[in-house]
Amino acid sequence: MPTFTDLSQATYCPRQLYYARRDDDRGPPPEVAEIRKLAFRYGELVDAADETIRDLGVAVEPEAYRRALRDLRERDEWSKLCNPAECERLLRGKDARGIAHKVLTSGSDDDDPPIPTLVSPGQPPERGVWKPQKVRAVAAAKALSWEEEREIPQTLVEYPTVGAVRTVRLTTRAKAAYRTAVRTVQSMDGPPPRLRGSDKCSSCEYRTECGIKTRSLRSLFGL
């Protein structure tokens, strides 16, 4: 059964996933784990001193970070984000499995459905979330829905280095992207075609194995 990571990586680049699956260790690097810890310190950091925030290595200035957390404090989910009902829950769905870093619940099966959350070590786009993260978010919601036997209409994606939390709703388009990723992973029995002319290739750790030729800035302008 594919993992949430498989689906996300297949959405970004199927060929990258092919090479990644051959690695013995696909776990996140230590710095990612440190960043994820920030998602459990919002209540403490909303009024933290400049020095404390700078020492955390966040991606914005301390005042901007505190302001972002103050804005986040206005959301209905604030207290649940600070004190989630569950952490690091392994979800096993019909099509995929993976970790929800938090599961937010109302405390009653008769109230609002639980909300899975994923913590990203990076920064969000100007609006919404990156497409691979959206696919991962849908996978988490669908897996939790399978386990809970109830509809889970949304997932939250947290970006703790900037104090942002984005909502991913299970729209028709989002679910279609998820199904495409599932089919891509399930049908993968060899290296998929290389990407052509993509900016993704220059930063890919598998570009040497892949054999893709990245173009320099000079060549792009015919210099």
- What is the average pLDDT across 47-59? 96
Q: Are residues 51 and 151 in the same domain?
A: yes
Q: What pLDDT, in 10s, does the model give residues 119-169?
A: 999 999 999 999 999 999 999 999 999 999 999 999 999 999 999 999 999
- What is the average pLDDT across 86-114? 89
Number of domains in the chain: 2
Q: Are residues 179 and 203 in the same domain?
A: no
Read off the pLDDT band of 201 (50, 70, 90): confident
> Is residue 33 pLDDT above 60, yes or no?
yes
Q: Are residues 210 and 183 in the same domain?
A: no
User: Are the C-beta atoms of 123 and 141 separated by less than 8 Å?
Assistant: no
Q: What is the overall mean pLDDT for the chain?
A: 90
Residues 6 or more apart whose CB falls under 8 angstroms from that of 122 comprise: 159, 161
CATH of the domain at 64: 3.90.320
**Pseudo-torsion of CA 125, 159, 119, 127, nearest 10°?**
-30
More confident residue, 40 or 194: 40
In Å, how far are 11, 59, 176, 187, 196 from 183, measured between CA atoms?
11, 36, 11, 6, 22
Q: Are residues 140 and 219 in the same domain?
A: no
Q: Are residues 178 and 214 in the same domain?
A: no
> Is residue 31 pLDDT above 50, yes or no?
yes
- What is the average pLDDT across 171-191? 94
Name the one residue in this structure whose structure tokens are 């001193």: 49
Q: Are residues 122 and 49 in the same domain?
A: yes
pLDDT at residue 216, as a whole number? 46
Read off the pLDDT band of 208 (50, 70, 90): confident
Dist CA 193 CA 93 (whole Å): 29
Q: Are residues 113 and 78 in the same domain?
A: yes
Q: Are residues 72 and 145 in the same domain?
A: yes
Q: Are residues 113 and 209 in the same domain?
A: no
Which domain covers residue 223, as residue numbers? 193-223
